[in-house]
Every structure is written in C-alpha cells, then in structure tokens.
Amino acid sequence: MSGINFLSRFAYFLLIVVSVTSCGLKYVPGPSLEDLARNRKESLEQQLAHDFAAVNKKYVGLTYGEEVVVKPMSYQRLDSLFEVKYRMSKSGMSTKEIDPLIENQKMVLLSDTTEVLYMETHWFELIQDTTCEFIIAQCFLNNRNVLRKMDFIDEFQTGISNQVWAEKYMKEEWLTRDLGYTSNDDLSFYSMMKNKEFSLKGEEKNQFIQNLFLVMRFASEAKSTAAQGIVLKLAARQMKNEIPNFKAADYVFSFKIVNNLQLKQDLYVVEAVSQTDKNVVITRRYDLFFMPVN
C-alpha cells in the first residue's frame, strides 16, 4: 500500500513539473557586470555620436580607462557603517550599537534622490572636414545609461595627415615593434610625452603636438625610441627647411648630450660639419622632449 502511495505522489510531482515546463517557465539570469559595463559604453557611444552629429562632427570612439562608481554621501555613509560592522564582527565584538545606525542610514538613503553615477574615462576623436580633434573626457552616466555630464580632461587638434599618429598616441598602440602588444620602451615614451603635453596649453601645446607626431614617425621608421636616431633626423630636417640648398649628404653629423647651465637642463646637441670646409659647422639643439631650443 505504501508503495502505491509513493508512486501516486511521484506521478503527481511529475505532472506538476511537466505542466510548469509546458508553460514555458524557466529561470533567466540577469545581466552580468560585464554585460552592464558593455551596455553602458555602447549607450555612451550612441549618445555622443548623435550629439556631435548635430554640429557636423563625426565621433570615433578610441578607448576607455577604468570605470569608477560615484556614490552620493548617503551611500558612502552606509558603506562605511557596514565596513565598521564587518570589522567588529570579524573581531568578535557586539554590533548592537551600530545596527540601529545602519537601519537609520538605510532610511536616509531611501529619501535621497541623488543618483549613483558611473564615470567612464573615454578617449575619442571628432572629425570635421580636414581637422581631427582628440579628447579625453570623464563621462558620468546614471543607472539608466543616460549621460548626465561630461568633463574634458585634455584635448588637442591636428590635421587629417596626422590622424594615424594621433590615434596611436591616444590608444598607446605599438610604435617601434609589432609584438602583438605595446613594448615597455614604447609605453615609457608615451608616458614621458603625455606628462609633458598635459602640462602645456594654447600654442605651446599645439607646437608640441605637431612636433610629437614627427618624432613618432622617425621613431617608427628607426624601430627605436632612442634619442640619438630621432634627434639626428629632426636636425637634418630642420636644417633643410631653414638653410637654402642644404643637402644632408654634404655634412657629417654628430650627436651629444650637454648640460646647459643657463637653462639648467640637459640638451641634445647635433653638429653638422661641412665635408668640403671643416670651418662650416651648423648646430641645432633640442630639449629632452625633442623640441627645438634656440
């Protein structure tokens, strides 16, 4: 008799399972953190493309930095209380005094209308006619992926002829050797030049940027960021632009590093000695960021 009852109960359970399955009910997991981050970036890019198209600028996304969650003070306060409670519990201490504070802060949070924002540091470019504008911005989105505000950290402009070099610079792609990743030498070069560029403004910044792309081209051709090869090419080019009928083949070039007491810094110095007249010596100087020094 008990066996019959068991079979009856099993059949009833099986019927329920089949019925639920036939209704199409199934567990659907929510989006992962990776999915949420990807959706946020896609939404940001769509908004920027739409907004800049309105002013006849083509938006091109380049890369992103690390995402930061910006919480209102009420959220930060609650996080701090939970952290204190965790340390107390871990130490075996009673949490009865802090528990009411946590509950009270939860109520404060419910009445706080300030949004939690997600800050994306975004590198992108804007193209209009023959001009490319490169921008690093902090973009703040809410949990519905609506862009609330955007702060520019850095920006510069260049011509379309330098677009490839500017994109490499912004994304820190390999410059001298294609290893499938960016070498440490290339990364050190980018870091040095960006630290300098970020400190400049106006025309001084513009001149630095234009010279930078020339330096990058020379480094790429030489497959090295070593100063000597770059500076020798810079000097030969500068002399050709400044001296009528100048031909590099008519001169012997030398390179050295000297300490300039007046400027209180080291300088790269190139001397070009005429092969037909040793008394003819042309000198050009550059700072450690490859900028010409008078």
- pLDDT single digits (tens) 183-233: 999 999 999 999 999 999 999 999 999 999 999 999 999 999 999 999 999
Q: Which of 32, 19, 109, 100 is nearest to 72 (CA)?
A: 109
Is a pLDDT exceeding 70 seen at residue 172? yes
> What's the rounded Cα separation, in Å, for the pair 228 and 283?
15
Find the mean pLDDT for residues 81-105.
86
Which of 72-86, 136-150, 152-166 is the least confident region? 72-86
Residue 139 DSSP one-character state: E
Q: How many Cα atoms occupy the beta-carbon half-sphere of 185 within 13 Å?
A: 13
Q: Which CA distances in Å does 182 have to 64, 162, 179, 219, 223? A: 16, 20, 7, 14, 13
Give the model's confidence band at 18: pLDDT under 50 very low, under 70 low, under 90 confident, else very high. very low
Whole-number Cα distances in Å, 69 to 47, 86, 139, 141: 20, 21, 11, 10
**Which pTM does this prediction carry?**
0.78
